Structure 1
Amino acid sequence: MEIYLVGGAVRDTLLGYPVHERDWVVVGASPEMMLNLGYRQVGKDFPVFLHPHNNEEYALARTERKNGRGYTGFSIDADANVTLEQDLQRRDLTINAIAQAHDGQLIDPYGGLADIAQRQLRHISPAFAEDPLRILRLARFAARFAIDGFTIAEQTLTLMRQLAAADELAELSCERVWKETERALATSSPVVYFETLISVAALTPWFAELQTGHAQPAFIRALVAATTLTDSVAIRWVAAVSTLNSAAAHALNQRLRVPTELQILTEQAQLISVQQLEQAPAELILQHMNGADCWRRPQRWPQLLMIWQAQGLSTSRVQVLSRAMQQLQTVKASDLIASAAAAGQVLQGTEVGLRVNQERLRLLQQAL
């Protein structure tokens, strides 16, 4: 039995990135051997085991054969005779198919080291085109490693186009699509993810609303701007999606089942245009603050301001509206009730809410 470190841990070490989790492949072992050594099997049919002490994942070397549609249509062979090279061959990219032995020796049967040196994202074999999820996964890798100068090999782009044209992307679950998208949005160059999908004609069926004839559509410009402002996945996504019309943004969010808070932010961001917001009177701005429930959820206003800023709202206006919110948050119903009582008045019921709103409006008018 031989054990090798594989995948992202090896790749990221070679690229100088911190390693947060390690995956291992075990060659020449059976499930019975692993169980006898104290490993705990994950699931009933998949040959992955958890280490008895550190819970790291140890997978039996395996091969995969396409026998259906989508990313789940594979049969698995985890026989003890499966070699390390066979296991590595089933992986997607050469840079993910480098193994490290216990003595530090690197096993690189498919040229991953050369591709790291040449900054290439390249598929291992034509079997790459058997799994539609790999389109999204590779687009995410392109986004993550764009900062290091990585680009996708032309032959690999050709396979991605063929896979997209086969209509198997529709076989993916919305959860998997959103997970890959969310991870791409967290990278330093999330725009590369969408540019890659555009370049291989893979926006449909999941991102059809982003299809446009413009060289640099509004959602791309907003995403680029949001990326310079924040690393928040929520703000990056909403800044981009809320440039669509409301029906298209709603359809996209619903199809991907994005978190409810992101859907709410999208709706709120679309209620007023950036052009209107530059000159909007205090009454209209306060209406939007109230509608976004900013008093119970104070994080929403800074988020909305950043979304609007990514869409072109001037920095000076953002600063004014940010300071105004800070002032408005000082308005307390209890203070107004006490002040009224000191003047011999009784403030109660709906009158309290009206007085709070009036005081917020007064402060907002002053701020503007």
Structure 2
Amino acid sequence: MNIYLVGGAVRDRLLGKPVHERDYVVVGATPQQMLALGYRQVGKDFPVFLHPQTQAEYALARTERKTGQGYTGFAIAADPSVTLEQDLMRRDLTINAIAQSDSGELIDPYHGRADLQQRLLRHVSPAFVEDPLRVLRVARFAARFAADGFTVAPETMELMRTIADQGELATLSAERVWRETEKALSSATPAVFWQVLSDAHALTPWFSELQPASIIKLTRHYLSQLDTPDPLIAFCLSLYPLTPERAQQLCERLKVPNSYRQLALKLCRAQLSASSTWNADAAFAYMGQFDLWRQPEQLTNLLKVWQCVEIKEPVLAAFQRSFEAAQKLSAAAVIEAAKAEGQALQGPQIGTALQSARHAKVINEWQLASG
């Protein structure tokens, strides 16, 4: 039995980046041997085990043979005769197909280190075309490593186009597509994800509504405006140019979680920009439109999106100041104020009075913020 560190941990160490997760491949072992050593099996489709102390993943070396359409159409063979080189051959990119032994020796049969130096995302073998999910994975890696100068190798881009043109992307599940998309949106350059998919003819069928040129324009200030990448903000900016109907179609098709969908659709309906009306009355209307009175935690996200679409800082500061001041008003305070004037508010009157008080507060604070 021989154990090797593989995949992203080796790649990131060679790039001088922090290593967050370690995955291992085990050559020359059986499931029974792993269980006898105290490992816990978790893989359903192929033998993956968790280390009894570290909980790191240890997978038996395996080969894959295409048996049907889509990313699930594979026959898995995992037995002690499978070599390390055979296991590495089934991986997507050469930079992910480097292994490291216990002694620190690097095993690199597919020249991943050379591609790391040349900053190329290159497929390992022609079997790349057998798994359509790899189109999304390569686009995600392109977004993740764009700042390091990585690009997709031309021959790999051709294979990605072949997959897309043959309609293989339609065999993917919405859940898998969204999972890769969310990871890409968490990168520092999410627009690269959309551009690579566009270059690969791969926006259809999952993202056919999107317009990469508009997204790139919207996100050109993304890095400078946000301290850390934010997938929610990146998603909202990606959908920002769309009509509400087209944005809704995309969200339904991808089964986008409500935590992303709700804000993105509200922004599409509002279509606010630097040229929109920005005064106290308009700001109060926007606060209601975005349901900030019930979801005040969304204020931060709204301000981030508006900052990225170049709405001026004084406007954003006035909006934030006005909302935060008006939010402090309570129904109890409004009732007491009415009592002092000899009025007894009941039922819907309380809500109406509270909104009137908030409106007045927004007007007052907006004027103060505007000098």
Counterpart residue number, 1:159? 159
CA distance in 2, matches of 1:27, 1:261: 42
CA distance in 1, matches of 2:148, 2:264: 32
Q: Secondary structure at the match of 2:145?
A: helix
Q: Secondary structure at the match of 1:351?
A: helix
Moved over 6 A (4+): none
Report 1:134-153 matches (<5 A).
134-153=134-153
**Deviation, structure 1 residue 328:** 1.2
**Deviation, structure 1 residue 276:** 8.1
CA distance in 1, matches of 2:300, 2:99: 45
Q: Greater shift after overlay, 26-35 or 282-291?
A: 282-291
Q: Structure 1 residues 44 and 294, CA, compared in 2 at 3 Å: closer, same or farther?
A: closer
CA distance in 2, matches of 1:117, 1:178: 31
Q: Structure 1 residues 243 and 44, CA, compared in 2 at 3 Å: closer, same or farther?
A: closer
**Deviation, structure 1 residue 275:** 4.7
CA distance in 2, matches of 1:33, 1:111: 32
CA distance in 1, matches of 2:309, 2:210: 16
The residue identity in structure 1 corresponding to 2:79 is D
The answer to whether the aligner puts 1:120 opposite 2:124 as a matched pair is no
CA contact (8 A) 1:223 1:237 kept: no
Deviations, residues 168-217 of structure 1 (Å, cap 9, x unaligned): 00000111111111101111111111110111111000001115xxxx63
Report 1:209-248 matches (<5 A).
209-211=209-211, 217-230=213-226, 231-248=229-246
CA contact (8 A) 1:40 1:50 kept: yes
Q: Greater shift after overlay, 240-249 or 314-323?
A: 314-323
Q: Secondary structure at the match of 1:25?
A: strand
Counterpart residue number, 1:321? 319
Q: Secondary structure at the match of 1:155?
A: helix
Of 256, 267, 270 in structure 1, the residue corresponding to residue 268 of structure 2 is 270
The answer to whether the aligner puts 1:254 opposite 2:252 as a matched pair is yes
**Deviation, structure 1 residue 34:** 1.1
CA distance in 2, matches of 1:275, 1:97: 46
Counterpart residue number, 1:194? 194
The residue identity in structure 1 corresponding to 2:191 is V
CA contact (8 A) 1:226 1:307 kept: no
CA distance in 1, matches of 2:282, 2:132: 47
**Deviation, structure 1 residue 45:** 4.4
The residue identity in structure 2 corresponding to 1:333 is A
CA distance in 2, matches of 1:347, 1:302: 33
**Deviation, structure 1 residue 299:** 1.7
CA contact (8 A) 2:243 2:269 kept: no
Q: Structure 1 residues 208 and 271, CA, compared in 2 at 3 Å: closer, same or farther?
A: closer
Q: TM-score, normalised by structure 2?
A: 0.93
Deviations, residues 251-286 of structure 1 (Å, cap 9, x unaligned): 011111111132221222133332587424533432
CA contact (8 A) 1:239 1:308 kept: no
CA distance in 2, matches of 1:365, 1:276: 20
The answer to whether the aligner puts 1:331 opposite 2:329 as a matched pair is yes
Counterpart residue number, 2:73? 73
Report 1:1-368 matches (<5 A).
1-211=1-211, 217-230=213-226, 231-275=229-273, 278-366=276-364, 367-368=366-367
CA contact (8 A) 1:98 1:108 kept: yes
Cα root mean square deviation, aligned: 1.7
**Deviation, structure 1 residue 340:** 2.5
Q: Secondary structure at the match of 1:209?
A: coil
* Matched residues, number: 364
Q: Greater shift after overlay, 148-157 or 278-287?
A: 278-287
The residue identity in structure 2 corresponding to 1:239 is L
Q: Structure 1 residues 34 and 245, CA, compared in 2 at 3 Å: closer, same or farther?
A: same
Deviations, residues 62-106 of structure 1 (Å, cap 9, x unaligned): 111111111111111112111001111110111111101001111
Q: TM-score, normalised by structure 1?
A: 0.94
